[in-house]
Structure 1
Amino acid sequence: MGFVRVGFMLSLMMVCAVGAEHGIKLFNVKDYGAVSDGKADNSKHGMRHVNGMEELGFGSQVAHTLLNSVTFQGPCKGWMAFVIKGILKAPTDIQSLFSNDIWINFQYVDRLAVSGGGTLDGQGAVAWPHNEGIKNPNSRPLLCTMGFGFVTNSRVHHLRSIDSKNTHFGLFRCDHMNFTKIRISAPANSPNTDGIKIGQSSRIKISRVVIGTGDDCISLVSGNKKIDISQVVCGPGHGISIGSLGRYKNERDVEEISVKNCTFYGTSNGVRIKTWASPIPVEASNIIYEDIVMNNVSNPIIIDQQYCPYPPCSQTPSNVQVSGVTYKNIRGSSSSNVAVSLRCSQSKPCKDITMEDIDLWHQGAGSVSEFCSHVSGVSYGKQNPPSCL
């Protein structure tokens, strides 16, 4: 099939390379009119759409380069590599904030590699005051920095994303993707700037990633299966979250989730499962959290089945079934008195919850406790605070 390579070399030059069976051909988009002054929109330069191996899309260029929203769409023949070196800047004009949902969008691509050591600068500060988020269900979402839709057998590595307007990396209906050696950052007060948000995807691996942002470091929403998260450093942020679940009709189950060897610094939550108080049925099951370190985390271990960030809140018990969740070898400091909170649903109590070797203490001079509501399970080994299971 050959090797197809699409590169955006942003430090010295940006190139687009198409590899055929008998070699690799390089295209320098500067030869097509691209400039790197940080002001001109270069999305119109170079090749814009993928169709077999004939047209390979995107347009971007050298250091401090402005690029409007673009979609890179398959199918393609063979591997493709999108290489970024330097700084690629998102637009900041108000019209662009709501014209698209995703800044750099990959769709329907099999065997894609995105890498290069460069930086994606979402320039989010101009957009955050316009982010109404969940408070207004009819509001238009701001730009996700990089999106992957129906992308398979692919990898993303050696990148940095800063100051996204919304989610940094978003996945929808992807399968068999690896994310590694990525740094994600945005201010702690930046709204809805999730680090990596995954929906209806399977066989996703995230490892050796550093995330500090204003929302969830990693968010696993409806329909995810076989997600493997390891060696993630999270903070600031809202932790690694499953959910929220149960808000929308036709949501799909979340199952076979593994979170291991992760560290949290000053986050509002550590490992969290959150569901809305609503009648919508869905399940979250077969989940393991293991070898986790907490440093001054507000809610190190939390299941919240009354999730409602903005009132008014429904009084209907959550219809999300949480089951088969294991917490093993979780240790460190809590900034709140309740280090473990398992607030489950009255109509669908959490079941088969296992707590093994938990050692959490108060960051200050106080003590910590554990809260349980509508939950059944077992505990083994050290239990600090004392288990309520």
Structure 2
Amino acid sequence: MRKMVSRSILEFCFSLTIILTICLFKTDAINNHKPFVPLKKFFNVLSYGANPMGKVDNSKAFLKAWDDACNFDGVSVIVIPKGGVYLLNSLTFIGPCKSYRTVLQIKGVLKATINPSYFYNLPTWIGFRYVNNLVLKGGGVLDGQGEYAWKYNDCFTNSRCAALPATLRFDYVNNSRVHSLKSVNSKNAHFNLFACSNVQISRVKFLAPSNSKNTDGIRIGTSSNIHILDSFIGTGDDCVSVITNSSNIVVTNVTCGPGHGISIGSLGSNSLSEFVKGVSVRNCTFISTQNGVRIKTRPSLFKGVVSDINFSNIIMKNVFNPIIIDQLYCPGRICSEQIPASGEGIKDVTFENIIGTSNSEVAISLKCSKSVPCRNVKLINVILPYTRGKSKSICSNVQGSSYGKQEPPNCV
């Protein structure tokens, strides 16, 4: 009897050991599969000596905060407090960073210098270079004070003109987001992207007067997978400009005006082969802009291709040139239309569901190269009456088709 009891006790203990072992194993497995939550640390620029009174340059304080944040092993949040005005000369934040994510929480007002010695012939006011996983947000204001600099912008008449700085310049920035910021009176472009990938820009507001030269809203070059959405852009040049060697650009829910519209190009300013592929502009509104949607290449030098372009679900309100393809673009009048274009030219372009009013008689102008005609251009449900009468369309060297309602009568 005692042997049977002892045996039962041993069996119970053995079973209990197995159960406890299984439970411990499961607990360890669960713990080992917890999502990684990086540490977060805040870096307030005031702690680095920043002066919020708008009178002295804060560049050194901002750069010190960036250095510490960039080297923190976690999520770094650089705080620029609300209520302060922070004067800044030209500065560039350089990575790569050790931080898992670097956030600039801009709540105050950043104000650019008006001293020409700190901006004349400089391409950048605030720059970011070689940075991944960057976030700019906060609801603050970037004031470029461009009204003190636009008189220096004489590039249309002076071939040796000096560069003026973009408000924000992103070079080699990847997997990043910019949202909930306001940029006013940029000296040059508000945002300039070069060699960037996987960047989203949303809920931004750009303001500059219609007579401010070269103040593009967002200029994109040599970049891919860029998404611009839910924003208002009113400026003196292109609201969005997509230039050389860029692909997979999406612009949605953007209101443009004043400005020169949304442009691809110009391309062909040098002898190198260039391309723009995969641009989608949809659900956008243009208000009293000089142009609507536009593609422009220079006649004698363009050797590349513009392809897979879609403009759809767009409202034009009193736009002077709503739809343009200009393969004979020659702003300086130094190019020759006698030299034929080469490469693949412009192809696979769709204008769909574009409605509103044209503030000029010519609502649609498609001027393509005789040597390399535009191919597969589609007009689908385009209704753009002239505000003072009947509108018309002009086409040359275009191969394509049209469907649905057309006003003016199509020329494709």
- Indicate whether the TM-score tops 0.5: yes
Give the 3 Å change call, closer, same or farther, for CA 22–346 of structure 1 in structure 2. Answer: closer
Equivalent runs, 1:218-229 vs 2, <5 Å: 218-229=240-251
Equivalent runs, 1:300-379 vs 2, <5 Å: 300-315=322-337, 316-319=339-342, 321-364=345-388, 366-379=389-402
CA distance in 2 between counterparts of 1:99 and 1:375 reads: 41
- Is 1:64 the counterpart of 2:82? The answer is no
Equivalent runs, 1:1-389 vs 2, <5 Å: 23-48=39-64, 50=67, 53-54=71-72, 63-76=84-97, 77-98=99-120, 100-315=122-337, 316-319=339-342, 321-364=345-388, 366-389=389-412
CA distance in 2 between counterparts of 1:187 and 1:335 reads: 20
Give the 3 Å change call, closer, same or farther, for CA 301–381 of structure 1 in structure 2. Answer: same
CA distance in 2 between counterparts of 1:103 and 1:165 reads: 9
CA distance in 2 between counterparts of 1:58 and 1:103 reads: 18
- Contact between 2:239 and 2:256, CA under 8 Å: does it hold in 1? yes
Q: How many Å apart are 1:117 and its aligned residue?
A: 0.4
CA distance in 1 between counterparts of 2:323 and 2:239 reads: 15
Q: How many Å apart are 1:31 and its aligned residue?
A: 3.1
Task: Please state whether the residue corresponding to 1:151 is helix, strand or coil.
Answer: strand
- Contact between 1:252 and 1:282, CA under 8 Å: does it hold in 2? yes
Give the 3 Å change call, closer, same or farther, for CA 72–110 of structure 1 in structure 2. Answer: same
Which residue of 1 is the match for residue 15 of structure 2?
none
Give the 3 Å change call, closer, same or farther, for CA 238–273 of structure 1 in structure 2. Answer: same
Task: Please state whether the residue corresponding to 1:31 is helix, strand or coil.
Answer: helix
Q: How many Å apart are 1:162 and its aligned residue?
A: 0.4
Give the 3 Å change call, closer, same or farther, for CA 251–162 of structure 1 in structure 2. Answer: farther
Q: How many Å apart are 1:179 and its aligned residue?
A: 0.6
Q: How many Å apart are 1:23 and its aligned residue?
A: 3.6
Instruction: Name the aligned partner's letter for residue 142 of structure 2.
Output: L
- Contact between 1:200 and 1:252, CA under 8 Å: does it hold in 2? no
- Contact between 2:341 and 2:371, CA under 8 Å: does it hold in 1? yes
Q: CA RMSD in A?
A: 2.1
Give the 3 Å change call, closer, same or farther, for CA 184–251 of structure 1 in structure 2. Answer: farther
Give the 3 Å change call, closer, same or farther, for CA 264–376 of structure 1 in structure 2. Answer: same
CA distance in 2 between counterparts of 1:247 and 1:290 reads: 28
Larger gyration radius, structure 1 or structure 2:
2
CA distance in 1 between counterparts of 2:235 and 2:306 reads: 25
Task: Please state whether the residue corresponding to 1:190 is helix, strand or coil.
Answer: coil
Instruction: Name the aligned partner's letter for residue 242 of structure 1.
Output: I
Q: How many Å apart are 1:298 and its aligned residue?
A: 0.7
CA distance in 1 between counterparts of 2:79 and 2:218 reads: 24
Q: How many Å apart are 1:269 and its aligned residue?
A: 0.5
- Contact between 1:60 and 1:67, CA under 8 Å: does it hold in 2? no
Instruction: Name the aligned partner's letter for residue 35 of structure 1.
Output: N
Greater helix content = 2
- Contact between 1:43 and 1:60, CA under 8 Å: does it hold in 2? no
- Contact between 2:300 and 2:341, CA under 8 Å: does it hold in 1? yes
Gaps of 5+ in 2: 1-35
Deviations 1:279-330 (A, max 9, x none): 3301100100100110000110000112122334433344460000001100
CA distance in 2 between counterparts of 1:325 and 1:46 reads: 45
Q: How many Å apart are 1:47 and its aligned residue?
A: 3.7
Instruction: Name the aligned partner's letter for residue 354 of structure 1.
Output: K
Which residue of 2 is the match for residue 8 of structure 1?
none
Matched residue pairs, number? 369
